[in-house]
Structure 1
Amino acid sequence: MGYISSLGAPFRLSLCAAAIGMLGTPAFAQKSPPEQLPEKSAASVFNEDFLNYGATQKSADLSLFAFGNRVLPGRYTVRVSLNERDVGKVEIQFDDKPGKSDAEPCLTRHMLDDWGVNVLAFPALTALSDDACVADLGAAIPDASFGYDGVKLLLTLSIPQAALKRSARGAVDPGKWDTGITAGMLDYQVNFSRYGGDTYRRSSDPFAQTRSLFDNNPFDRPPNDPRRDTLYAGLRAGFNHREWRFRHFSTYSRGTDGRARWQAVETYAQRDFPAINGRLLIGDGSTPGNFFDSLPFRGVQLASDEAMLPDSQQGYAPTIRGIAQTNARVTVRQNGYVIYSTFVAPGAFVIDDLNANGSGSDLEVVVTEADGRESRYLQSFSAVPTLLREGAWRYSATVGKYRRASGQGRGYNSWGGLSQWPWTQSRQPLAEPAFLQGSLAHGLGGDYTLYGGLIVSGRYQSVLAGVGKNLRAFGAISADLTAARATVPMPLLVDKSYNGQSLRFLYSKAFEVGTNVRVAGYRYSTGGYRTFQEAADMQGLLPLERLNNRRSELRLELSQQLGDKWGSVFVSARQQSYWGARDKDRAVQFGWSGSYKQFRLGVNYNRGVYQDSRRSSQIMFTVNMPLGASGLSAQYAVTQERNGRTSQQANVFGSALDDSRLSYSVTAGHDDGQGSTGAVSANYLSPVGRFDLGHSQGAGYRQTTVGMAGGLVVHAGGVTLSQTLGETIGLARLPKAPGVGFESMSGVATDWAGNAVIPNLNPYRINRVAVRTQDLGDTLDVKNAATEMIPTRGAVVLAAFETSVGYRLMLTLADRKGEPLPFGARIESDTGVEMGIVGSEGQAFVTGAGQSGRFIVRWGQRTVDQCTVTYSLPEAESPPPIREMTASCE
């Protein structure tokens, strides 16, 4: 081996690594099954002379490796697999056992209980304290065993199914839920648009010139200035302290008419009660919509939270689909409040990340095109039939005042309802009566579920009773009957009472042939039936006014897979009629999507007929294809409206930069009404937010949009800017590690202080966060590059990563006489952390070294078999990834 000294450092490093790999390292030892463990008497015997062949370097005491890759005593962070199911990471103490060559894990009663073992069923476990080690797992739990893979740091447990607790698929132990840290947060979204062209000139107003003479606003524009600006801002502020969540949501909007409006959508405090799978809310909220219509309220609510249940016991969230012909703004309202606003590119769009308030109130969707045209439709949002497992409960209790959107008056619901005379437009606000609402559902045997509810108010009382049944191969169905009594005060007359009933059927089924009937429902109400909202709208009616209450309603959501070659279709339909009105509201959506070779094809159709005589219909055909391997794609779309107006668009879009942080789109088109049109848009996802930019232009109009969305978190370590937060978030902390990204999280990276916000975590579920190790650089190491978090709803959970900043060194070590240190000697830090092993010619590779310090080198069991290396690295502006130095060990 004497010739090695003439070779370069890279080759010496690889040879050193190979020698270390031959010998093995204690931290990555392999544990054999108990029955295959070698006995001490069968220890392997190494002939150490081969290490000295052709050289004079001494070797260290190799008895450490006499039994293969040994597991040494100590604490290791390992991943635990129970019956081939991952149950997370845990730090475990490994201790020596008599007669065993490897240290074995100390499995405590508390650990086994956390992993789902029914410890109360075994006397040997119940007699132990929570932190006591189980001496013999196989004796305590018959047929149980374990194994440890030190290379993968994986501890595998095999436990008989009969020894485990019963739990539903996807269940997470509530004891592992993390309520998070004390923190403040702000989530914001701002969209600004400027419109221009003849289309947006001010309408003629005989008083406009007179008003401008008395307007001292220096920013006022001439009456015929074609420019128009709109602005939307949504702010969600919050504060967390222990289990409590305090939130406030406000929106600001200013339209092309210059009128500004600020809405305080909701302010509330809430906390979880895991023992009853419930959540307490104080302030503004919405009642559940699975039985009665969802009602916005201000008061107190205690209700079960479905998200606390296992995945197998949860329902679904609404999805909004539509068609945009230009760079359009999509606005979503629920109960009169704007809850979502965004810009979409031309073509068919899907909004599947909506965080709607309540769980069953219809959504009003407004698509505003770049040239000012609007299309409106209702998105049906109804809960699936309420079926519970046997013995399960679902409940809700609300006490408060009916809450309307600020400025909401009569006629806000354009889908039917109140009919008004012109001279009654200016009047007092609608009533906001106090009420109590409760609902309860219980799962019975035989796949039945009983449910009921009531609403009690001063002038309104309603009671509901229903039953659901799982028909298994035929789907699930529920039916309920509601009886209501409403008393309406009449001016100068005796109060008038209305009594009626409403019968509802709901059905849901996923067929094996690929058909999925998500919600099929029918409701019929008698002429005297009034919902709570209708009764509130009738308060203070004038003699000539009337309210056309609902008569019948039919809903359907259907999707069908057409095999591997023909794609899939979906249909959504809704029809509603009113007492005292001849016309009906009808809305139908149809879509097909499929592929042929590299082409993706789609057809979307919307049609709406409403009681106020509005009619609309659109049909769009799209074809999409990739443009080579560059990530670019092209799309062609043609749209025809009810009036025969046809528009065509050709669109090229793609993404760039790391993690596809930058996305862009270029569109050219032709419209029968506007002539040639064009649009460009781009958005960039950065660690501090998302930035959007777009421009559209056609005959008679111009539109430029600018938007940004992001958030910030205030915590004990300072202020951290981030992308949009979402409801539940994590705070990753990597000390002295700026600019480090995370796997599968585009644009997320640590700031100058090493903090990063991980947005949109799933509450009550295991969320894995992994550091992108290629961003760590040459002087930074992280002990555990991945961690798991199980947050409660609305929590800010801390994910602390242990980092070490230091240099990578290639050392050449010698004793006082200048002789190389023994081969295989261990190098430790002052704190006893192993940092490397001496290889041939006294060379050793060490990581995590500081600018200066000392190492302890050990090559035997005696006190004299060790020495100390003191070192100091010279300052360098651009140090190499691996620094070489020679040191003497004293």
Structure 2
Amino acid sequence: MDNYFNKSLLYLLIAGGLFTSFNTSADDYYPPNLLNIEGSSQQITNEDLSVFRESSIAPGYYHVDFFINKNRIFNREVEFALMDDAENKKILVPLLTADEWYQAGVDIPNQLINQDDQFVNISLIEHAVGVLDLNRSQYVLTVPQKYINENRIQLNEVNNWDSGIPAALVNYSFSSFNRRSDGKTNDSYYGNIQSQVNFDAWRFYNYSTWAKNENGESHWNTLSNVLSRDIYTLKSELQLGDLYSSSQLFDSVKYRGLKLMTDRLMTPYQNRTYAPSVIGIANSESIITITQNGQVIYKKSVPAGPFNIVDYSPMSSGGNLYVNVKESDGSEKNFIVPFSSIASLERKGEIKYSFSTGKYDSHNSGDGSYLTQAEAYYGLTDYVTLYSGLLVAEKYQSFGFGSGLNLGSYGAVTADWLYAKSTVNHDESLNGNAFRVNYSKNIELTNTNVSVVGYRHFDANFLNFNDAMEYKDKEYQVNDGLKNEYTMSISQPLFSNNSSINLNSIIYKYADGKNISSYNVGFNSSINKISYSIYYTYYDGNRFDNNDKNTYDLSMNISIPLTWHENYVWANYAVSTNNNDQTLHTARLSGTYGDRNQASWDVYQGYGNKGVNYSGGLNGSYKTSSAIVNAGYSYSKDRQNFNYGISGALVATQYGAVLAPSLQQTNALILTKDTAGVEIINGQSVKTNGRGLAVISGMSPYQKNSISIDTQSIPADTEITNNIISNVIPTKGALILADFDAKKGFKFLLTLETPDNSIIPMGAQADIGQTEKQLVANFNQLYFIADKPQGDIQVSWKSDGKTYRCHANYNANNESSTNGLYILTTECK
């Protein structure tokens, strides 16, 4: 309720005056308030208030975020002028040339391009609607899709990518473990630090760990250092440092050097995965609808003529695409686009590549070899992808090629071949081949998803790079004669998708006959929010332990949601048994607490049938705006364990330092200018500190993000008009700045009385002695925030060529406020 009055009042004051649109008629009358008229090079000085009879906002220059169909095009100063719309009503439109509209992604009809007038009246496009919102400094234009060029819109989005502000970010985690057994106490500690330094588009990452064992020995270890940045012209990422090569065609190799690779995150979300083009002809303006597995995945209006739909993202599980074309006369036509997908498939004309070069890094090798690896994938057609690669070092050469096929109703398949030549033991040469086939299909009739059926064959003398390096040092073949590898994964939804059954298997066959096979079967289901599952695992292999006995494990789990004071609580029971006739029962109760579930807890007890596995414990954690703390206790028949830990992050920028919970890859710094306690809706339990700073994590790179604050948490002496910052597009690893432009001071709503009880016109300019000037609203009312509790006001206006002025005072020293707002009446004379 604290801010309800303020919000309601401000809404009444500014609802009309801070924005105007194409559908605002000349007879509408709105009270403009809170209007900052000094945010541009040309100030509005109220030369003649008669302009407000045509528009609630005066013509002039305004610095705005310019949006077209929800896409942010640019941020700059734009001139707005009154023009006649199709109904000869005066409306406010942006003054842009046809070329400027073209660059913005709008194709202007020829009949609207007037050679005598360089500016285009965008309001004359049928169904075009524009809104100038000065409260958010935005101009939002909606234009029919047939006038929009998606490629140029996308290019404008790239121009709005935000690489963030210079910053140092440190993720830290520390844990302490105490073990008590046989009257002895042992302590151990572990910590890790993941630090990052940002400057423009560059990112430097360091990952280090520290450990102290029960003997008091401590060790600090630096795992990796990486310098990276994005290169949009190549839609790629450049990395330098401790890296891993691509693992799609060859096995991944750890090395220190350089890597340049395609980053699909830089492409629009709907174009990141494989999809065939949907091509057809519309006889009139039509609506295209694409359906897959009974779900509508795309709908768009297209003009008459040929169309080529590529900006859609099908379900990765597969299933043919059913296309419906509905013409303007109501007639329809339908066709099918075959679709199945598998890793390695690329869209037609798309190229994906990875290039690595550097020095091999192995703990077992004294002198690392220099290597170069390159892979490339090319979408030859909508249904065929070709790929190839090579890996070259001083004593190792390998190359390969393959192809991926979308067979439509028959599934999708990839097949590739590798050749490798290895020089081992100084002069011994080993040459071998490897062949691999993978298959994937979604069976629409039963909705069965055969995600991967794989087969790999290795010649006796085939070595991958890592094995060849180990062979050279250890003088034995690491893979020890692996001949064939089989994998399979099948999932089947059951009972209207409330249940599913999954089957996974992998088989390794070796030249010496000591084979390994593993099978997993799982069933998951739920009834009235009660979920349960059954899993069976079978393992057959004696390669490593010389144990001829096969093993299996059967387990069942059931989870029941409960309610307790409007908080989440779950009761869980699990039982498992194995081939040794050992049975383990575990009962668990867990839940969360807090208005944003910032606290979590867990209590469990287990026991076995042979006097073993008797154990229990409890754990808890709490998330604050600056860190996550946790503690736990567990016990067994002859041992007790205690643990505690803390994790979080420290962020340092030009705006100051702030503590935060652990950060993810891409983040945002919230700034509310010395206003503490403002809650961020995006972040759980995140509030601004005393300097008005907070950090939220998990922003989506190269996508539009919105950040919102909880207006109920804004202090009474503070005003934040832009409580939502939308359409920000951070690059990967960026720390973007979200400045909510908080203003602290004394809030006034004054009613200005004149000696003759005359009306001060709406739009009269009020100078309160600060940088920002305000406009008088209806009924002689004036709203503003002042730095001091008292002061002078100069009000002036011009109407029909005459100048009018009056002077008023305000003083809140002996007045009481309503939720921080001083509602006063003062004389203006």
Instruction: Return the TM-score normalized by structure 1.
Output: 0.73
Residue matched to 2:80: 94
State the distance in 1 between where 2:245 and 2:271 align: 21
Q: SS of the counterpart of 1:174?
A: helix
> 1:306-356 CA distances to partner (integer Å, 9 max, x unpaired)?
22233344469xxxxxxxxxxxxxxxxxxxxxxxxxxxxxxxxxxxxxxxx
Question: Gapped runs of 5+ residues in structure 2?
Answer: 31-47, 275-340
Residue matched to 1:195: 179
Q: 2:226 aligns with which of 241, 251, 268?
A: 268
2:95 is aligned with 1:106: yes
State the distance in 2 between where 1:275 and 1:748 align: 37
Counterpart contact for 1:808–1:883, Cα < 8 Å: yes
> 1:218-257 CA distances to partner (integer Å, 9 max, x unpaired)?
xxxxxxx532334332211121222221111122345567
CA displacement at 1:294 relative to structure 2: 0.9
Q: SS of the counterpart of 2:233?
A: helix
Residue matched to 1:31: 22
Structure number having the greater strand percentage:
2
Residue matched to 2:474: 541
CA displacement at 1:166 relative to structure 2: 4.5
State the distance in 2 between where 1:262 and 1:18 align: 58
2:678 is aligned with 1:740: yes
Q: SS of the counterpart of 1:790?
A: strand
CA displacement at 1:541 relative to structure 2: 3.3
Question: Gapped runs of 5+ residues in structure 1?
Answer: 1-9, 47-60, 199-224, 317-382, 410-428
2:148 is aligned with 1:148: no
Matches within 5 A, 1:449-848: 449-489=385-425, 495-512=427-444, 513-542=446-475, 548-564=480-496, 566-580=498-512, 582-609=513-540, 611-613=543-545, 617-628=552-563, 630-642=566-578, 643-672=580-609, 673-674=611-612, 676-787=614-725, 788-815=727-754, 817=755, 822=760, 828-830=766-768, 831=771, 833-834=773-774, 837=777, 839=779, 846=784
2:253 is aligned with 1:295: yes
State the distance in 1 between where 2:223 and 2:199 align: 23
Residue matched to 2:812: 873
CA displacement at 1:276 relative to structure 2: 1.0
Counterpart contact for 2:494–2:501, Cα < 8 Å: yes
State the distance in 2 between where 1:123 and 1:393 align: 40
Counterpart contact for 2:93–2:130, Cα < 8 Å: no
State the distance in 1 between where 2:515 and 2:213 align: 31
Q: 1:70 to 1:511 in 2, by over 3 A?
A: farther
CA displacement at 1:636 relative to structure 2: 2.5
Q: 1:867 to 1:668 in 2, by over 3 A?
A: farther
Q: 1:247 aligns with which of 185, 195, 205?
A: 205
Residue matched to 1:310: 268
> 1:469-522 CA distances to partner (integer Å, 9 max, x unpaired)?
1112333211000011111116xxxx3221111000122334434333333322
Partner amino acid for 1:145? Answer: A
State the distance in 2 between where 1:736 and 1:698 align: 51
CA displacement at 1:147 relative to structure 2: 3.9
Q: 1:101 to 1:622 in 2, by over 3 A?
A: same
Q: 2:353 aligns with which of 389, 395, 398?
A: 395
State the distance in 2 between where 1:813 and 1:162 align: 49
State the distance in 2 between where 1:729 and 1:245 align: 13
CA displacement at 1:860 relative to structure 2: 6.1
Count of matched residue pairs: 726
Counterpart contact for 1:73–1:96, Cα < 8 Å: no
Counterpart contact for 1:13–1:845, Cα < 8 Å: no
Counterpart contact for 1:600–1:623, Cα < 8 Å: yes
CA displacement at 1:548 relative to structure 2: 0.7
CA displacement at 1:875 relative to structure 2: 8.2
Q: 1:400 to 1:463 in 2, by over 3 A?
A: same
Partner amino acid for 1:468? Answer: G
Counterpart contact for 1:30–1:71, Cα < 8 Å: no
State the distance in 1 between where 2:686 and 2:73 align: 24
State the distance in 2 between where 1:45 and 1:489 align: 90
Residue matched to 1:208: none
Q: Supply the RMSD in Å over aligned alpha carbons.
A: 4.0
Q: SS of the counterpart of 2:496?
A: helix
> 1:55-84 CA distances to partner (integer Å, 9 max, x unpaired)?
xxxxxx9967756867765637577452xx
Counterpart contact for 2:131–2:140, Cα < 8 Å: yes
Residue matched to 2:314: none
State the distance in 1 between where 2:510 and 2:488 align: 19
Q: 1:573 to 1:748 in 2, by over 3 A?
A: farther
Q: SS of the counterpart of 1:865?
A: strand
Residue matched to 2:241: 283
CA displacement at 1:818 relative to structure 2: 8.7
Residue matched to 2:309: none
Residue matched to 1:137: 122
Partner amino acid for 2:485? Answer: E
2:382 is aligned with 1:441: no
Partner amino acid for 1:448? Answer: V
Partner amino acid for 2:22? Answer: K
Partner amino acid for 2:594? Answer: L
Counterpart contact for 1:194–1:230, Cα < 8 Å: yes
| Percent identity (aligned) | 22
Q: SS of the counterpart of 1:783?
A: coil
CA displacement at 1:291 relative to structure 2: 0.5
